[in-house]
Structure 1
Amino acid sequence: MRISEHFADQRAALHKEAQHWLLRLTSGAATMQDARAFEHWCGQSRAHVEAFAETRRMWENLGPAAQSWLAHEQIKTASGNVVALPRTQPRMTRRAFLGAAIAATAALAVVHPPLQLWPSLSDMVADYRTGTGEQRDVDLGQGVVIHMNTQTALNLRKAQGRVVGIDLLGGEIQVKATADATGPVPIFAGGGRIDVGVQARCNVRCYGADVQVTGLDGAITLNYSGHSAVLNTAQQADYGSGHIGQVTAADIEMVMAWRRRVLIFDGQSLSQVVEEINRYRPGRIILANDDLAARKVQARFSLNQLADVAALIQDAYGAKVTSLPGGIVILS
């Protein structure tokens, strides 16, 4: 085998391993052991780090490509431009096969974007959405105002041109029904319904299968899986997995902090802190130390200082920081 072929084989093997790591880290099932193993893999050589960076860039480039491909397919379907194929088809060429594979991979990347590098398919077609670190205010008229936090997507339910409900696909919102509202404003999230009474206001977080609702003003009614609960000012409840949790007192300052572009943590574990911070900054912070992940945190971060948060954690807890391309940081 020639030297050039040997290096080409090594490069291909590294990229295959990099793809494995990208898929593993974005599977939702990655463990602390995975994070430590990934750090060890990256530490083997600069070529390993470069292979991962190139793989990640490939995924980034597939995002726009996938959107274009899906739009093209939708246009063909809508126009009825479907070409009947003869019974006997010639063998697919290698170029055609690779093109189909790239299109299929791109479509999958749109539905399940790795590391949330771009919006998912449901986010892209949402009526309103915010990107990483972005916040947005939406006045729907009819006495309804929505404040959207980072990585949030929602659709509007309409009837006869009027908004009759809000579908929270994911993320965090505050909704206020003013005196001009004609009745309670329904929010649909995580399989449940949240009714915001006239002149009432609430905060709703929907990440994954669980939903957290906080009453900020007035009366809020929850209906989920045959159960119901009423929240008054400064009360909070979670629902998911078929039941509504106990109504408890809420720390309004902490719940409202994101509106002031501040994150407040009071006794949460560092793993919970990092999970929240990852919603606001590009890339990903990965904890690779169980003891470090369990440390309790008392902290207040401005959203404007999150670029330096790894250094702050390093100073506070003596964590080892490994920075990788694309904003990926490993704390161990």
Structure 2
Amino acid sequence: MDRRLTMADQRPPGQVKRRQEAAPPPDPFGPELGRLKGGRAFPPGFDPRAVARRSRRRRRTLRGGGIALLAAALLWLAFDPSLTADYSAPVGSVARVTLPDGTIAHLDSGASISWSESQTERRVRLHAGIGLFETAPEPERDFVVEAAALEVRPLGTVFAVSAEASGWAALVQSGEVRVSLPDGGSSTVIGPGEAASMAGPDAGLAISEVDAERLLAWRSGVLDFKNTPLAEVIATLERYRPGRILLLNDAAAARRFDGVLALDDIDGALRIVAESSGLEPLATWPLLVVLR
């Protein structure tokens, strides 16, 4: 009998078998279904594939949020140099550090500085807070403290520089310093008991007389206030306490306060100020105090 072979009959037996046993395409939700099922049968009416799709989308969203959070943290580090400063004082304490050239730096609460040097210059960048410097004599190299828009060059002295809105930018306890604006702007020399501050965007520098010992009393562990507006007292205490201190009494803000307060008990100092000024604490939390 004439029997014609088909194409399938002409293939080797092994090839036909391999095609019949070819694996189906991979299920993209297979791993998700395996995790969801956990070895148990699904209940009636349960749509495991819909749950698997939602699970995949949720993990992608979480990954995207984590990447965004990491990027924000890196930007914060890039634009806040104080986080990578060489020396700093934690909020609520005062630090005394010795710089590589032998200069002694006293850092007020929350202050931070960075150090750099070359063959002709020693430079300190004050990122935040107040720093008091006892400069080591080194005639062949200038010593410069840079803060905000000012440069301060001591002429063998003990002086302080502030990066805060404290009413002064540089003051002298002993000796003299030259205070200069950048790019060849205004420049002046101040001596003991004098302070320099920015008079305005285009007004240069203003010079005033100050009580340097009282303003720098924090170096000895106390705050010394004399006829000081209550708003300024509260703002000063806030520098030594994490969080915020809010004064919700405009009439009391202008009252004057006299007293010496210990830095080792800021909450106790705050109670003294409040009681002596007739203020009532509305709330006292670790990161927030509200006074009225």
**1:95 matched to which residue of 2?**
59
Match of 1:185 among 113, 133, 143: 143
Structure 2 match to 1:255: 215
AA in 1 matched with 2:134: K
Q: Shift of residue 209 of structure 1?
A: 10
CA distance in 2, matches of 1:265, 1:209: 14
Q: Answer whether contact 1:142 1:182 (CA < 8 A) is retained.
A: no
After TM superposition, the structure 1 stretch with the greater mean CA deviation from structure 2, 178-187 or 133-142, is 178-187
* Aligned residue identity for 1:215: V
C-alpha distance in 2, partners of 1:153/1:222?
20
Change in CA separation of 1:317 and 1:127 when aligned onto 2, cut-off 3 Å? same
Q: Secondary structure at the match of 1:247?
A: strand
Q: How does 1:315-330 map to 2 (within 5 A)?
A: 315-330=275-290
Aligned equivalent of 2:193, options 210, 230, 234: 234
Aligned equivalents of 2:110 and 2:150: distance in 1?
20
Q: What residue number does 1:41 align with?
A: none
Q: Which runs of 5+ in 2 are unaligned?
A: 1-55
Q: Any conservation in 2 of the 1:111–1:122 contact (CA below 8 Å)?
A: no
Give the conservation status (yes or no) of the 8 Å contact 2:237–2:266. Answer: yes
Q: How far apart are residue 329 of structure 1 and its match?
A: 1.1
> Which of 172, 196, 216 in structure 2 is aligned with 1:215?
172
Bigger Rg, which one: 2
What is the deviation of 1:269?
A: 1.6
> 1:167 and 2:125 equivalent?
yes
Which whole-Å CA distance do the structure 2 matches of 1:262 and 1:283 have between them? 20
Provide the rounded CA distance (Å) in 2 between the counterparts of 1:227 and 1:270. 33
1:224 to 181, 196, 216: 181
Equivalent residue in structure 2 for 1:135, among 85, 94, 113 = 94
1:196 is matched with which residue: 151, 154, 159? 154
Q: Which has the higher helix share?
A: 1
Q: Does 1:246 align with 2:203?
A: no
Please state whether the residue corresponding to 1:253 is helix, strand or coil: helix
Aligned 1:7-46 pairs, distance under 5 A: none
How far is 1:192 from its partner?
A: 1.8
1:295 alignment partner, one of 255, 262, 265:
255
Query: Which residue number corresponds to residue 47 of structure 2?
Result: none
- The alpha-carbon deviation at position 244 of structure 1 amounts to 3.6
Cα distance change of structure 1 residues 146 and 227 upon mapping to structure 2, 3 Å threshold = same
Q: Which has the higher contact order (CA 8 A, sep 6+)?
A: 1
The 1-side partners of 2:287 and 2:278 are apart by 20
Structure 1 gap ranges (5+): 1-91, 114-119
Match of 1:150 among 109, 117, 139: 109
Report the CA distance between 1:267 and its aligned residue. 2.0
In structure 2, give the amino acid aligned to 1:270.
Answer: L
Stretches of 4+ moved more than 4 A in 1?
105-113, 208-211
Structure 1 residue 143 displacement after superposition: 4.2
The residue aligned with 2:230 is: 270
Q: CA RMSD in A?
A: 2.9
Shift in Å, 1:111:
6.5
- What whole-Å deviation, never above 9, does each CA across 1:157-176 have from its counterpart, x for those lacking one? 2336x862111111111112
Q: State the Cα deviation string for residues 22-48 of structure 1 (Å, max 9, x = none).
A: xxxxxxxxxxxxxxxxxxxxxxxxxxx
Counterpart pick for 1:122 among 68, 81, 85? 81
CA deviations over 1:175-203 (Å, ceiling 9, x no partner): 12233453431111112211012x31211
Q: Aligned in 2, Cα 1:217/1:327: closer, same or farther, shift over 3 Å?
A: same
**DSSP-derived class of the 1:151 partner:** coil
Give the length in aligned residue pairs.
Answer: 234
Hey, what's the Cα distance between the residues in 2 that align with 1:111 and 1:319?
41
Equivalent residues of 1:133, 1:279 under 8 A apart: yes
Structure 2 residue matching 1:150: 3-state secondary structure:
coil
- TM-score, normalised relative to structure 1: 0.63
